[in-house]
A and B are shown apart, each in its own frame.
Chain A
Amino acid sequence: MPVAAEWGACMHLAISLNIAATDGQTILDFGQISSVVGQAEAAGVDMVVFSDSSDGPSSSPFEATTLLAALATVTDRIGLVAGASTLAHQPYNLARRFASLDIISHGRIGWNATLAQNLREAANFSRPEGFSDDDFRRRAQEFIGIVQGLWQGWDADALLFDQKAGRFHDPDKMHLLDHKGEFFSVRGPLNVARSPQDAPVLVMSDLAEADLDFASRAADVILIEEQSAEAAEATCAELKRRALAAGRKPAALTALLTVAMGSKPDAARLRTLLGLNGCDGLTLALPADVAALENFADRVLPELRRHGIAGQGQQGAMLRAHLGLGGAK
């Protein structure tokens, strides 16, 4: 029996890193970020989630998907997840970026589709009036469906590489999407090969009540906002119930409870949370603060490693394997 059982068997562990510094916060450079990610990888953390924008004025040297590409070349096992908004991207471009990242990282990428409308983004992306909540929700769902469809455009055995016969790929194994919807029209296919892990992991966060059915049906991972252990247990049970109702196995959906890590992280509190909540694991939200990050890396990660609490990554190098997920829907 692994030591992990002490703290809660098969718990998944993610960290989320807010790289957008607001006034008075330190701007993290690439060395500082890759150092924290490297230590999390050594401790067996399943994945690190980067947010990409905030509602208010903030500053970071990096946009999240470009940061992920650079980090992919200096890490080997840890999953890398970036937030990218449905307001700031076109579905074809976003699907392509993440598909490409997944090949660069050898199957360790996830897309965090935030389901809340960011009005600051709307104002900077030629949508000064934004969308009504209803329109935004329908548009986001259509967007996410297109991205998932584009990720399935090439069969796993489509590439032949047959130099002698002059057949690079099998045209019957490349599929048009031909999507014509309320907000988008996308023909496809993607001009990036299929993901090594079948498809990048689809993460969703910032869910409203009205998003729960969709998220339970479509997401691989749902990040649940911080709440009491009792409330989290109820939320996770509800998500799994809806996943089941949508015809999925509850294990196909990984629900992670967010826990904010202050500047003085408390390993004992973590132990309690890991034991008590009814979720599949935790996302530890780290502040964009060098001292707090060092504290976390020096005190919490070794503790996690000692107790074998993180380390599901041993199951395989790809993110879907870390999380015990099957192939994409």
Chain B
Amino acid sequence: MSPRQMKLGLFLWATGHHIAAWRHPKAHVTAGIDIDHYIQLARTAEAAKFDMIFCEDAAGLREANVNIASQTSRSIGFEPISLLSALAAQTERIGLVSTASTSYNEPYGLARTFASLDNLSGGRAGWNLVTSASPIEAANFGATGLRPHADRYARAREFATVIAGLWNRRAAGHDGESFSVRDPLDIPPSPQGAPVMVQAGASDDGKDLAARTADVVFSAAQTFEDAKAFYDDLKGRLAAYGRQPDDVKIMPGVAPVVAATEAEARAKHDELQELIPDDVGVALLSSYLSISDLGRYPIDGPLPELPESEGMKSRQALVVEQARRDGLSIRGLARYFAGARGHWRLVGTPTQIADELQARFEGGAADGFNVMPSWFPGELDAFATLVVPELQRRGLFRKDYEGRTLRAHLGLKRPF
């Protein structure tokens, strides 16, 4: 049996994951309207043998304050299912995973869309289930506002059950609380049987749903201990649903800044941090904390006490804990957070970064990583040419694809 190897996803995000990425002099500033940019990124990732590319999504603006929004590149971009369908025709091996919301779709429609992407790509599609926590999105889908956390998850559980039933060709017919579906799916299965199911919710409801239905779980963890605790928690929930630990791959996000020397890597990182306007950093932090008025507290003072929100419960806890632990001011936390949005940041040489990834992978805290380059294409190119060969040299990552489907890359069983 070949040794266990890590899985790598490339988390795509227009100009890059850093909030100021679009201002980097070498960033592709028109990324959000340039399909050729994405085709190039996908081909770079495929040449580096990444398991998949992944697109996050929100059905609405990401920032309510129009002046803040206009200083970021995040108000416009491609809709991810059309984007990945285009990339399916321009790539051959790499997996194609998109986020889609259970709150603003119907299971029959989403089942068809992803089954089609799965066929277009010859069995390389995956769906990242989100319940959508943003009131900005809610306002595009009715006047009632954001539904409470528990309601969203009840709908998501029913959604996941129905879509899995359609994809796995189980007996048709569903008449439930939120959805009714009469017929079987009218799209035949792809070579991998059914799209891969991905989730990222880290609340208790989220982890239970993931343990029941997900093939891959994306997570956010700063420290080894946090990553390990999440990993053990989630894998520990699988047995209750009759599943084995290996049935789910846990892939925390990592935001690497890599260069030949550590000093060079730090300089690259600082260059981007300097491009963040204070009001943008604070607004981004407010949005992830699901509060609207962080701007009224002194920017060099500590983070105030916060009420628990109906938005992202688990993300909020992570950010607050980070600030308390490091004694950060609002400005300090905002800048720190803007760089990787609460994900794990690694700044260093290829050896240092490979060491850190190896420690979490071999220490039982990750099955792989979702790589979040700070800006495109530069930091992706750096990771692909500096870190990937180092991981391959250590036998931690594949030198070529073993199969043709996303399930094959991930070592997942066909669902039926």
* A interface residues, Cβ below 8 angstroms from B: 20, 27, 30, 53, 57-63, 65-74, 88-90, 92-93, 96-97, 99-101, 103-104, 120, 123-128, 154, 159, 161, 163, 166-171, 174, 180, 184-189, 191-193
Query: In the assembly, what is the distance between CA of A72 and CA of B29, in Å?
Result: 23
Q: Is the CB of B78 within 8 A of A88?
A: no
Query: In the assembly, what is the distance between CA of A232 and CA of B102, in Å?
Result: 45
CB proximity to A under 8 Å, residues B346-364:
none
Q: Is the CB of A188 within 8 A of B140?
A: yes
If A69-B85, A171-B66, A193-B33 touch, whether A163 touches B182 (CB-CB below 8 Å) is no
Query: B141 contacts which chain A residues (CB < 8 A)?
Result: 90, 92, 186
19 contacts between A and B (CB under 8 A): A60-B186, A60-B187, A63-B116, A63-B187, A66-B85, A69-B81, A88-B106, A92-B60, A96-B59, A99-B79, A100-B82, A123-B182, A126-B180, A166-B275, A167-B71, A168-B22, A168-B72, A180-B143, A191-B75
Chain A: CB-nearest residue to B83: A100
CB proximity to A under 8 Å, residues B92-116:
104-106, 108-109, 112-113, 115-116
| Other-chain residue from B27, B33, B82 in contact with A65 (beta carbon distance below 8 A) | B82
Q: Is the CB of B58 within 8 A of A191?
A: yes
Q: Is the CB of A93 within 8 A of B59?
A: yes
Q: Is the CB of B59 within 8 A of A57?
A: no
**Is B188 positioned at the interface, with any CB of A under 8 Å from its CB?**
yes
**Is B183 positioned at the interface, with any CB of A under 8 Å from its CB?**
yes
Query: In the assembly, what is the distance between CA of A96 and CA of B75, in Å?
Result: 13
Query: B66 contacts which chain A residues (CB < 8 A)?
Result: 171, 174
Query: In the assembly, what is the distance between CA of A188 and CA of B66, in Å?
Result: 12
| Other-chain residue from B62, B75, B81 in contact with A66 (beta carbon distance below 8 A) | B81
**Is B90 positioned at the interface, with any CB of A under 8 Å from its CB?**
yes
Query: In the assembly, what is the distance between CA of A66 and CA of B82, in Å?
Result: 6
CB proximity to A under 8 Å, residues B129-175:
136, 139-143, 175
Q: Is the CB of A185 within 8 A of B60?
A: no
Main secondary structure of the interface of A (DSSP, over half): mixed
Chain A: CB-nearest residue to B65: A171
Q: Is the CB of A73 within 8 A of B90?
A: yes
Query: B183 contacts which chain A residues (CB < 8 A)?
Result: 57, 120, 123-124
Q: Is the CB of A161 within 8 A of B78?
A: no
The 9 closest A-B pairs by CB, nearest first: A69-B85, A100-B79, A63-B116, A187-B139, A70-B89, A123-B182, A61-B119, A185-B143, A66-B85
Chain A: CB-nearest residue to B85: A69
Chain B: CB-nearest residue to A59: B186
The distance from the CB of A52 to the nearest CB of chain B, in whole angstroms, is 9
Query: In the assembly, what is the distance between CA of A30 and CA of B277, in Å?
Result: 47
Q: Is the CB of B142 within 8 A of A193?
A: no
Query: In the assembly, what is the distance between CA of A170 and CA of B66, in Å?
Result: 9
Q: Is the CB of B140 within 8 A of A192?
A: no
* B interface residues, Cβ below 8 angstroms from A: 22-25, 27, 29-30, 32-33, 35, 39, 58-62, 66-67, 69-73, 75-79, 81-83, 85-86, 88-90, 104-106, 108-109, 112-113, 115-117, 119-120, 136, 139-143, 175, 178-183, 186-188, 275, 277
Q: Is the CB of A159 within 8 A of B33?
A: yes
Q: Is the CB of A62 within 8 A of B83?
A: no
Q: Is the CB of A192 within 8 A of B76?
A: yes
Query: B24 contacts which chain A residues (CB < 8 A)?
Result: 163
Query: In the assembly, what is the distance between CA of A101 and CA of B66, in Å?
Result: 26
Query: A70 contacts which chain B residues (CB < 8 A)?
Result: 85-86, 88-89, 120
Q: Is the CB of A72 within 8 A of B86?
A: yes
Q: Is the CB of A124 within 8 A of B108?
A: yes
| Other-chain residue from A62, A92, A193 in contact with B59 (beta carbon distance below 8 A) | A92
Query: B75 contacts which chain A residues (CB < 8 A)?
Result: 168-169, 174, 191
Query: In the assembly, what is the distance between CA of A192 and CA of B22, in Å?
Result: 17
Query: In the assembly, what is the distance between CA of A104 and CA of B77, in Å?
Result: 11
The distance from the CB of A243 to the nearest CB of chain B, in whole angstroms, is 31
Query: In the assembly, what is the distance between CA of A242 and CA of B277, in Å?
Result: 54
How many cross-chain pairs have Cβ atoms below 8 Å apart between A and B?
Answer: 185
Chain B: CB-nearest residue to A166: B71
If A92-B59, A154-B76, A188-B140 touch, whether A62 touches B116 (CB-CB below 8 Å) is yes
Query: A154 contacts which chain B residues (CB < 8 A)?
Result: 76
If A61-B188, A104-B35, A171-B70 touch, whether A66 touches B178 (CB-CB below 8 Å) is no
Chain A: CB-nearest residue to B25: A163
Q: Is the CB of A126 within 8 A of B106?
A: yes
Q: Which of A20, A27, A167, A185 has the most CB of B within 10 A?
A: A185
Q: Is the CB of A124 within 8 A of B182?
A: yes
Query: A60 contacts which chain B residues (CB < 8 A)?
Result: 186-187
The distance from the CB of B20 to the nearest CB of chain A, in whole angstroms, is 8
| Other-chain residue from A58, A74, A103, A188 in contact with B33 (beta carbon distance below 8 A) | A103
The distance from the CB of B211 to the nearest CB of chain A, in whole angstroms, is 27
Q: Is the CB of B140 within 8 A of A186?
A: yes
The distance from the CB of A28 to the nearest CB of chain B, in whole angstroms, is 11
Query: B79 contacts which chain A residues (CB < 8 A)?
Result: 96-97, 99-100, 192
The distance from the CB of B278 to the nearest CB of chain A, in whole angstroms, is 12
Q: Is the CB of A61 within 8 A of B30?
A: no
Query: In the assembly, what is the distance between CA of A67 and CA of B187, in Å?
Result: 13
Q: Is the CB of A184 within 8 A of B142?
A: yes
Q: Is the CB of A92 within 8 A of B140?
A: yes
Chain B: CB-nearest residue to A119: B182
Chain A: CB-nearest residue to B108: A124
The distance from the CB of B160 to the nearest CB of chain A, in whole angstroms, is 16
Query: In the assembly, what is the distance between CA of A161 and CA of B27, in Å?
Result: 11
Query: B70 contacts which chain A residues (CB < 8 A)?
Result: 167-171, 174
Known: A66-B120, A161-B29. 9 other contacts (CB 8 A): A30-B89, A53-B186, A59-B187, A62-B119, A123-B183, A169-B70, A169-B75, A169-B76, A187-B139
| Other-chain residue from B60, B105, B180, B188 in contact with A27 (beta carbon distance below 8 A) | B188
| Other-chain residue from A61, A88, A128 in contact with B182 (beta carbon distance below 8 A) | A128
The distance from the CB of B412 to the nearest CB of chain A, in whole angstroms, is 22
The distance from the CB of A318 to the nearest CB of chain B, in whole angstroms, is 15
